[in-house]
């Protein structure tokens, strides 16, 4: 099991990240003090670091630079800053990737998998293929042959979960929990709208019977 070290001072975001990572099969350690972050990371010996830029005591640039002086441990900067300069500075001090908040959970997981694959040879989970349909998670795009369609965040989440459980019925409750676990309330009808839009897009690719409804049970691909 790969270990991810999260350096985030917002307690709510930190716990959400921990929950998501554990749910997706990672061991997760979160920084709870910021006076000696670099030393704590090296002592924990993780496989990857998720690093915020705006932190108490030392900012993310300093921490990433300090890590690079002694280790080639992969670092993904996850920050609310979306400036090109911050991204450039992050890469210049040794970060392997840069993702802005608010992030799409599935794309964040895909970036983590891609960096781990590049560094440790982990199996690539950016691309899923099933029954003639290809899902590119990093680009949020589905394709069949020469045709392709762009997916919204929710459509991507629905299709990824169904393809991850291909051949198995996924209940509406599981889909809602997966997609909106960070929201306080979501109407059940919202899922129906997203399912119908996704089914139409897949139908436009020439696969009208790809996403099946199992009445009273859920959905299946």
Sign of the torsion angle spanned by Cα atoms 168, 172, 173, 175: positive
CA angle centred on 137, ends 156 and 54, rounded to 5°: 95
Of the pLDDT bands very low, low, confident and very high (cuts 50, 70, 90), residue 95 is: very high
Helices (H), 80-215: 84-92, 105-120, 153-164, 172-179, 188-204
CATH dotted code for 3-124: 3.40.50.2300
For residue 8, is pLDDT > 60?
yes
Mean pLDDT of the chain: 89
Of the pLDDT bands very low, low, confident and very high (cuts 50, 70, 90), residue 184 is: very low
Please write the tens of the pLDDT for every residue from 16-56: 999 999 988 899 999 999 999 999 999 998 999 999 999 99
Task: Record the pTM.
Answer: 0.65
Query: 127-220 sits in which CATH class?
Result: mainly alpha
Residue 103 is classified by DSSP as: P
Which residue ranges make up each domain of the chain? 3-124, 127-220
Of the pLDDT bands very low, low, confident and very high (cuts 50, 70, 90), residue 188 is: confident
| Proportion of the chain above pLDDT 70, given as a percent | 94
Higher pLDDT, 203 or 122: 203
């Amino acid at each position: 099991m790969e270990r991810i070290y999260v350096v985030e001072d917002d307690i709510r975001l930190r716990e959400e990240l921990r929950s998501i990572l554990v749910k997706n099969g990672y061991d997760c350690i979160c920084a709870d003090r910021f006076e000696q972050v670099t030393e704590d990371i090296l002592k924990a010996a993780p496989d990857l670091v998720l690093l915020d830029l705006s932190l108490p005591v030392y900012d993310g640039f300093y921490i990433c630079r300090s890590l690079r002086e002694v280790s080639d441990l992969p670092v993904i900067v996850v920050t609310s800053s979306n400036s090109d300069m911050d991204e450039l500075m992050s890469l210049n001090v040794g970060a392997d990737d840069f993702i802005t908040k608010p992030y799409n959970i599935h794309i964040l997981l895909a970036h983590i998998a891609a960096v781990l694959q590049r560094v440790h040879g982990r199996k690539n989970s950016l691309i899923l293929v099933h029954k003639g349909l290809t899902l590119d998670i990093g680009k949020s795009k589905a394709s069949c042959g020469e045709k392709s369609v762009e997916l919204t965040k929710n459509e991507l989440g629905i299709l990824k979960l169904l393809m991850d459980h291909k051949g198995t019925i996924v209940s509406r409750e599981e889909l809602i929990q997966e997609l909106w676990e960070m929201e306080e309330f979501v109407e059940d009808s919202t899922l129906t709208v997203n399912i119908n839009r996704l089914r139409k897009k897949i139908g436009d690719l020439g696969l009208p019977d790809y996403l099946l409804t199992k009445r009273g049970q859920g959905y299946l691909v």
